[in-house]
């Protein structure tokens, strides 16, 4: 998956190319190419090595470069908006008033610090009043309505088998570490994270008045409960199995088998009127039902207090914010805490993203980019159709279904046609914590209103300013926000090689998600429904196994390897995206010719652009956690992995046997 030219980017490329008397940007960092490295040995380093070796990661960041790290300079643009509207007199209830006053309330650290942990005292008092399992579940229900999932992972989204309707879903939750495996691994980095997490919990209890011994004991209790919960969790790889994570059941049935949870009462208490629910990971809820009785109620109260404090720590006074950062520092390697302006900009974008997005689009987005990129999207669709038609492993009947799905994809560019309303949210300039609660509660109500209603296919799952892109299989849509429609992905002045190697690759990547190991199980309408012949699907699965095995051989840090099964969907999309973008590029005038720019052929510039869009450098701690939990391969392997499978790259850079990333033809994995 999946997500204004900045001064900081100007450092990465030269700007003095003169052609026929006109001045144009130079989109390939020619001076930065490291000719001491052969393209066939490590193309990522060939293109980005000099930058990588000299780039400095800011002390308050975990990485630098393109893709998600371009959201760092994006936040500066959002800060400009927020600094402006927060100082203006705005009409009550207007978008400007809501985002401006929310930002101002979070910037008022004097008031926030004066209140200490007073804002969460009512929540802690309600936990103290719990006396048994039914009253515990009453609290959990009220917490859900307030936007906190605690031990029940409840949500509303399309039914996998009837994608036009939104249904209730329940998924595993209840742990504070990034993934269930963090509770069971015993390597040194993981042990450091476990200890830091326990210290974080202890610190939160001490900040609310517990002595050190009690706080440490509480932390042990919380960690012990979470470890029992984690034992019932599916791994992040197991959760990628679409069919194995769908179990639509009658509420009456699970109410009988999971009586301690008490589903009928729980759903009633959270306002969810439904006679069925998709329980994605049943083992979690079977285990939780038992744990509710086997774990003493006083220990559950300690667990829920820790959960409440962790959920709200970053919205409280500075000591709580500092404690949260100290734990995050161990996970991300980030050395210094971000400024309050940075924190609040991210919070406004996270909580009122489509309100802030409206202001961003008005101020910074060029509408012509939408039209230009739509042309690329349509060209890539044609190129993908052609590739499908020429596959040597797929039958005509499956090809027909694949092309039907391809042309049914909904295309969303720039920003939503219909903005999410926050009309029911009251924002006060002097009550930051209450603002957070109001937004969370409104968010829950907004989602709940969708239950048993038709799916709104105009809705967006990201904010317009975010540098990302995604494919949603339940809606069969590709989404490219305004944030990614900029250099190095797209530029009006760039030649086609640059744009097709940039945003073209991203477009092709997202389209290929419709046909990766997960997306291939959804039909053109977004239902999990088989549209393959048995023989074709077996061939497809064999190819995806080859790809997973290839990526599992890639080393990231010391003995840490890419997880081929976890990253399979993204790797399939990367490989397909490059191939489709290249075919579409070859339809352009530049792609058909061989005129060099800066000494590089059109094909070479296309591949240089691909390596440039993944120009990313991260801290080792961040990367270690990323490999364990993120479905994308690290940046270097998003370049080198697909290219070692792609014949035109071999020709463009004369990659030969003996080069480190050379693969014999029979070893190259080709799916789409």
Burial bucket for residue 459 (CB in 10 Å: 0-12, 13-18, 19+): middle
Q: How far is CA 488 from CA 33, 151, 417, 450, 503, in A?
A: 16, 42, 26, 38, 8
Segments in 502-634 forming alpha helices (H): 503-512, 534-552, 568-585, 589-592, 602-613, 620-629
Please check whether residue 223 is in contact with residue 197, taking contact to mean a CB–CB distance below 8 angstroms. yes
- Phi, psi dihedral angles at 324 (to 5 degrees): -65, -40
Structure tokens at 358: 């409206």
| Alpha-carbon gap, residue 179 to 625, rounded angstroms | 10
Please check whether residue 22 is in contact with residue 293, taking contact to mean a CB–CB distance below 8 angstroms. no
Burial bucket for residue 538 (CB in 10 Å: 0-12, 13-18, 19+): exposed
* The pLDDT of residue 26: 78
DSSP conformation letters of 457-472? TT--SS-TTSS--EEE
Supply the CATH classification number for the domain 133-295. 1.10.1380.10
Tell the residue number behind the tokens 């003996």, with chain if given. 658
Calculate the dihedral angle through the C-alpha atoms of 293, 296, 298, 303, rounding to the nearest 10 degrees: -70
| Alpha-carbon gap, residue 52 to 47, rounded angstroms | 10
Please check whether residue 203 is in contact with residue 328, taking contact to mean a CB–CB distance below 8 angstroms. no
Instruction: Supply the Cα-derived Rg of the chain in whole angstroms.
Output: 26
Q: How far is CA 527 from CA 160, 449, 474, 530, in A?
A: 5, 22, 6, 9
At a CB cut-off of 8 Å and minimum separation 6, what does 657 contact?
Answer: 664
Which positions of the chain have pLDDT values less than 70?
A: 1-24
Closest by alpha carbon to 508, among 409, 603, 419? 409
CA atoms within 13 A on the CB side of 260: 17
At a CB cut-off of 8 Å and minimum separation 6, what does 148 contact?
Answer: 307, 308, 311, 440
* The pLDDT of residue 5: 28
Closest by alpha carbon to 168, among 527, 451, 528, 446? 451
| Alpha-carbon gap, residue 195 to 310, rounded angstroms | 16
| Alpha-carbon gap, residue 234 to 220, rounded angstroms | 23
* CATH 3.40.390.10 domain range(s) in the chain: 367-420+459-638
Residue 163, helix vs strand vs coil: strand
Structure tokens at 407: 């042309």
Residue 412, helix vs strand vs coil: strand
Number of CB atoms found within 10 A of residue 29's CB: 20
* The pLDDT of residue 559: 86
Q: How far is CA 15 from CA 23, 51, 54, 493, 503, in A?
A: 8, 17, 20, 12, 21
* The pLDDT of residue 587: 96
* The pLDDT of residue 12: 31
DSSP conformation letters of 475-513? TTEEEEEGGGSSTTT--TTS-HHHHHHTHHHHHHHHHHG
Number of CB atoms found within 10 A of residue 115's CB: 16
Please check whether residue 340 is in contact with residue 140, taking contact to mean a CB–CB distance below 8 angstroms. no
Residue 270, helix vs strand vs coil: coil
3-state helix, strand, coil in the chain (%, to 5): 55, 10, 35
Burial bucket for residue 396 (CB in 10 Å: 0-12, 13-18, 19+): exposed
* CATH 1.10.1380.10 domain range(s) in the chain: 133-295
Please check whether residue 504 is in contact with residue 585, taking contact to mean a CB–CB distance below 8 angstroms. yes
Q: How far is CA 63 from CA 34, 346, 395, 620, in A?
A: 21, 16, 45, 10
| Alpha-carbon gap, residue 162 to 527, rounded angstroms | 6
Structure tokens at 71: 């959201």
| Alpha-carbon gap, residue 452 to 527, rounded angstroms | 16
Superfamily of domain 367-420+459-638: Collagenase (Catalytic Domain) (3.40.390.10)
Please check whether residue 483 is in contact with residue 357, taking contact to mean a CB–CB distance below 8 angstroms. no
């Amino acid at each position: 998956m999946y997500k204004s030219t900045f001064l900081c980017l100007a450092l990465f490329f030269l700007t003095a190319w003169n052609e026929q008397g006109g001045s144009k940007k130079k989109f390939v960092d020619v001076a930065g190419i490291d000719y001491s490295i052969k393209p066939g040995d490590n193309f990522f380093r060939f293109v980005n090595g000099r930058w990588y070796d000299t780039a400095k990661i800011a002390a308050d960041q975990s990485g630098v470069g393109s893709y998600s790290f371009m959201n760092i300079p994006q936040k500066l643009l959002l800060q400009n908006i927020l600094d402006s509207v927060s100082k203006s007199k705005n009409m009550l209830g207007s978008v400007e008033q809501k985002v401006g006053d929310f930002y101002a309330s979070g910037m008022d650290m004097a008031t926030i610090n004066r209140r200490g942990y007073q804002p969460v005292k009512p929540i802690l008092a309600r936990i103290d009043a719990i006396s048994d399992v039914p009253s515990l579940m009453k609290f959990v229900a009220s917490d859900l309505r307030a936007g906190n999932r605690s031990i029940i992972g409840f949500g509303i989204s399309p039914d996998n088998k009837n994608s036009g309707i939104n249904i209730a879903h329940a998924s595993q939750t209840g742990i504070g570490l990034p993934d269930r495996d963090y509770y069971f691994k015993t390597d040194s980095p993981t042990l450091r994270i476990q200890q830091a997490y326990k210290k974080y919990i202890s610190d939160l209890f001490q900040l609310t008045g517990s002595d050190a011994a009690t706080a440490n004991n509480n932390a042990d209790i919380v960690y012990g409960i979470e470890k029992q919960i984690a034992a019932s969790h599916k791994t992040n790889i197991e959760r990628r199995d679409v069919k194995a994570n769908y179990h639509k059941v009658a509420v009456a049935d699970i109410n009988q088998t999971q009586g301690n949870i008490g589903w009928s009462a729980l759903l009633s208490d959270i306002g969810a009127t439904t006679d069925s629910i998709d329980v994605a990971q049943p083992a979690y809820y079977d285990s939780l039902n038992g744990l509710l009785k086997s774990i003493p109620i006083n220990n559950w109260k300690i667990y829920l207090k820790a959960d409440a404090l962790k959920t709200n720590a970053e919205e409280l006074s500075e000591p709580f914010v500092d404690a949260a950062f100290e734990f995050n520092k161990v996970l991300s390697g980030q050395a210094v805490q971000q400024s309050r302006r940075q924190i609040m900009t991210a919070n406004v974008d996270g909580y009122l993203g489509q309100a802030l997005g409206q202001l961003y689009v008005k101020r910074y987005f060029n509408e012509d980019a939408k039209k230009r990129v739509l042309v690329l999207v349509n060209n890539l669709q044609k190129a993908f159709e052609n590739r499908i038609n020429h596959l040597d492993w797929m039958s005509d009947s499956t090809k027909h279904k694949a092309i039907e799905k391809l042309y049914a994809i909904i295309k969303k560019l720039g920003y939503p046609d219909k903005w999410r309303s926050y009309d029911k949210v009251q924002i006060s300039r002097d009550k930051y914590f209450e603002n957070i609660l109001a937004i969370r509660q409104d968010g829950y109500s907004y989602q709940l209103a969708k239950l048993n209603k038709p799916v709104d296919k105009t809705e967006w799952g990201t904010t317009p300013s975010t540098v990302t892109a995604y494919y949603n299989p339940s809606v069969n849509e590709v989404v490219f926000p305004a944030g990614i429609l900029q250099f190095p992905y797209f530029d009006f002045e760039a030649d086609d090689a640059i744009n097709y190697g940039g945003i073209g690759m991203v477009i092709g990547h997202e389209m290929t998600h419709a046909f990766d190991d997960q997306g291939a199980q959804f039909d053109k309408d977004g239902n999990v429904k088989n549209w393959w012949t048995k023989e074709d699907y077996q061939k497809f699965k064999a190819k995806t196994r080859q790809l997973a095995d290839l990526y599992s051989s890639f080393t990231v840090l010391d003995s840490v390897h890419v997880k081929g099964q976890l990253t399979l969907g993204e790797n399939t999309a990367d490989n397909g995206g490059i191939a489709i973008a290249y075919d579409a590029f070859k339809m352009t005038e530049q792609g058909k010719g061989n005129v060099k720019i800066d000494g590089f052929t059109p094909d070479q510039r296309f591949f240089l652009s691909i390596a440039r869009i993944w120009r990313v450098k991260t801290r080792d701690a961040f990367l270690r956690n990323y490999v364990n939990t993120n479905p994308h391969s690290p940046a270097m392997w998003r370049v080198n992995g697909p290219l070692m499978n792609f014949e035109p790259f071999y020709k463009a850079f004369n990659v030969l046997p003996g080069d480190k990333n050379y693969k014999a033809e029979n070893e190259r994995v080709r799916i789409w």
